[in-house]
A and B are shown apart, each in its own frame.
Chain A
Amino acid sequence: MRPHESTTDLTAAQDLPSIIRPYGDTTGDAMVQLSFTLPVPSGRRAELAALQLAGKMGLDPASVVHSKAMGPNFTFFIVYGKVNHLIDYVGIEVPEGREYPLLSAKEIDLAIRTVLNRRMVVVGACIGTDAHTVGIDAILNVKGFAGEKGLEYHREIQVINMGAQVTVEELVERAKAENADAVLVSQVVTQKNAHIHNTKQMAAAFHAAYPTAVGPGMGRPLLIAGGPRFDTVTEQELGVDRIFGKGTTPGEVASYLVHALLPNWTPEDPTEST
């Protein structure tokens, strides 16, 4: 656990400021900056249009500090202004954090060896037209991400990385052939909500392919979706067991695999855990 998380927990609620506004250089000055483009030629009229927009956004007073013609028909603005909104900071409900502990690579391998008594099989792919393997590779390749080695690094995890533009049928077929414990799909391209459609389609295909499954690890693989733009949807909507967002590290995924697939496992010696 990172140190600042524990200090947050210890902080008494009454130490939190109750009402806040943005901070420029003085408490309560409520200053913000923004930039945008308007589809009009630059000039005095365009600046007034920008100020009107800023006013409607709740900036009062606002000032255009920079405006620049971008070709004959567009103008770019940088605007500073004071917002009139107040934020009830104490009243904010913080979503729960990770519901499972972060395990070390050693603990993960030990858990799999102890409980499964075989290697855990993970099949990963970028599905649909998505060709961006950055995400799946960061999680699966030995190279890893953010200083953590990818799942391939674990002796007890067998990784099958199918790469990019894999069809749902190919993925289901491979998962069945390999007896996959978990299936990871990565979706980076989000145009026309392709990431949502592809993932729903994938989940539906797996549920259809394993009609007698009771749950993840019980008759079907654990289904995991990852990508930077899944923050608008829930696991239930997509039909997957877990969504991972931007910045997820391989260690978080590996720890989740143990948590979800080996729920009865507890480290023999908790003092070893880091």
Chain B
Amino acid sequence: MTKLDLDPSVVRKARALAERAARPVIEMARTHTTVSVERAQLRLAGLTGADSDGLPWVNHLVDAVRDQVGLEHGVALPVFDALAREPYADLGGLARAASLGAVTFRLPAGGDAGAAAELARAAARRGVGRIDARRAERDVMLRETGDPRQPWIYLIVATGDIYEDIPQAQAAAREGADVVAVIRSTGQSLLDYVPEGATREGYAGTYATQENFRLMRGALDDVSRELGRYVRLTNYASGLCMPEIATLAGLERLDMMLNDCMYGIIFRDINPRRTFIDQRFSRQIHARAGIVINTGEDNYLTTADAVDAAHTVIVSQLLNERFGKEAGLADWQLGLGHAFEINPAIPESFRLELAHAQLVRELFPDAPLKYMPPTKHMTGNVFAGYLLDAFFNLAGVMTGQSIILIGMMTEGIHTPWLSDRDLALENVRYVRDACGALAEDFVPRPDGFIVQRAQQVLSESVDLLERICDDTLLAAIADGTFGVTRRPADGGKGLDGVVERADGYFNPVTEILESQDPHATAVPTPAGSTD
């Protein structure tokens, strides 16, 4: 049932345009690889650990192969060929020797190539099998502990120290958080390697490492059993190591990952090509791992005006949907983002917010939408901020949003205090309990302000998508279409890690992910899905 009377032919047109705009980018991603995609498959093949300076062995091995034979055929054949020929027990031994320059790599041919490929395929099958096992384990946990009803309450911890994060995350879960996100250390997106081990120092967040993932998931499993409610864990598959972090998330049973198709380009100045290639692989992993992605459209509204740029959010969501589905993500895995960022001084700002939020709800009825609280217009007046957050919570409940990130009245002043979090939860609990199923009664007047505004934003989105199709998506990004920031296709960080695939490029992980239905084994049904 639609409340906004959207013209189905306009919605179909918008999706068709998004598909057209995404097509050349997907083609580019299919024909290229990156250093991080190659490292990710070595991680799945079981290569872990780092040298005494903290540089991971996967980096050493990929760099060595790159220096000697190049990456255009993929690392799998040269690596498994060397492993078969040389006397090393495993990939770890090979990587250590390679870092000392003691291994000669080659691109095997004929029977040697066939043998190396079989070894690589077996390792990839074991790695993907570990991800499958983790997904099955989540299904069991969901059955045993219970899946909370939506909207899920999403809370952030960010101390920089994993051992400080753990009690905070457990406290947040006990206070009502359904999803805990560990904010990542600010600098990590530009590191071209994934740090190792448990970490106790970070800038405005905690490093994403496999060990930190494991520790936090274990702690949340404990608290999930204690509460009889599965508490989801979120981290960030973004930045230069997006494919590897997605892989580690799959291996450690993280439940949601921030994974936007354009965020790194626009807000971190990461090269657009690198981003789109890395993103496709990481989404294939997320699809297989049963991970819900969260996209970052809310960020556009922190730089652009939330009314003027409302349609850029819709356009980006349609692109994220297209890129996600092409990579195998199901609707229930598309946590498309949007935000409550209209200047509260604008007359009828709440009505505009309702129009935007309802529009997103209706365009993506089966997606677990992630709704972000106000940040830009949080002034330091904590009392006014608390009120604005309540209106945000109200809009979220009225328009049936799926994941509500909890707004802090001290936004922009400091990272949340314990009391900020407690007051914020009190705020959302009140609104959620007081409103109940208010969304059922919220039916905008036919052809009224909200309906007209939603239709206008949709029609502006179609116009923008048409321009993007004429111009290409990479050119639109270069022109500053999203978030006002201009990002040329040959600029930004990480371009030197992009390699065009040669004929005969071989990646055993991609082979599995692209030939099998990622959801063939188990498809969890999200509880409390809308309508």
Contact = CB atoms under 8 A, between A and B. Distances in A.
Interface of A: 35-37, 68, 70-71, 74, 76, 128-131, 133-134, 137, 141-143, 161-165, 189, 191-192, 194, 228
A48 B519 CA distance: 58
Contacts of A37: 417-419
B187 A129 contact: yes
B187 A192 contact: no
B299 to A, nearest CB: 10
A128 to B, nearest CB: 8
A128 B187 CA distance: 8
A96 to B, nearest CB: 24
A44 B186 CA distance: 42
Contacts of B189: 131, 165
Q: Top 4 nearest A-B pairs by Cβ distance?
A: A129-B187, A163-B269, A70-B422, A129-B186
Contact of A191 (B160, B175, B268, B376): B160
Most buried by A among B187, B418, B419: B419
B418 A74 contact: yes
A192 B159 CA distance: 12
A74 B423 CA distance: 13
A133 B417 contact: no
13 contacts: A36-B419, A68-B422, A70-B171, A70-B419, A129-B187, A129-B203, A130-B186, A133-B303, A133-B485, A143-B304, A163-B485, A164-B267, A165-B268
A137 B485 contact: yes
B302 interface: yes
B190 interface: yes
B305 A191 contact: no
Interface in B266-280: 267-269
Interface of B: 160, 171, 174-175, 185-187, 189-190, 203-204, 267-269, 302-305, 376, 412, 417-419, 422-423, 484-485
Given A192-B203, A194-B203, A131 B422 contact: no
A76 B419 contact: yes
Contacts of B175: 70-71
Given A143-B305, A163-B269, A189 B186 contact: yes
B417 A131 contact: no
Contacts of A36: 419
Contacts of A137: 303, 484-485
A164 B239 CA distance: 13
A35 B419 contact: yes
A70 B268 contact: no
Most buried by B among A74, A129, A189: A129
Most buried by B among A36, A130, A162, A165: A165
B219 to A, nearest CB: 15
Contacts of B417: 37
Contact of A133 (B171, B267, B305): B267
B268 A143 contact: no
Contacts of B303: 133-134, 137, 141, 143
A269 B173 CA distance: 65
B484 A134 contact: no
Given A71-B174, A165-B187, 13 more contacts: A68-B422, A70-B419, A71-B175, A128-B187, A129-B186, A131-B267, A137-B303, A142-B484, A143-B305, A143-B484, A165-B189, A191-B204, A192-B203
Contacts of B419: 35-37, 70, 76
A57 to B, nearest CB: 17
Nearest to B422: A70
Nearest to A75: B419
Contacts of A129: 185-187, 190, 203
Given A37-B417, A37-B419, A74-B418, A164 B203 contact: no
A194 B202 CA distance: 11
B268 A131 contact: yes
Most buried by B among A130, A137, A163: A163
A157 to B, nearest CB: 17
Contacts of A161: 485
Given A131-B186, A134-B302, A137-B484, A165 B171 contact: no
A131 to B, nearest CB: 6
B422 to A, nearest CB: 5
Contact of A164 (B171, B268, B484): B268
Contacts of B418: 37, 70, 74, 76
A175 to B, nearest CB: 17
Contacts of B423: 76
Contacts of B412: 228
A37 B171 CA distance: 15
B173 to A, nearest CB: 11
Contacts of B267: 131, 133, 164
Contacts of A128: 187
Nearest to B486: A161
A67 B302 CA distance: 35
B333 to A, nearest CB: 26
Nearest to B205: A191
Nearest to B303: A137
A189 B183 CA distance: 14
A172 B35 CA distance: 29
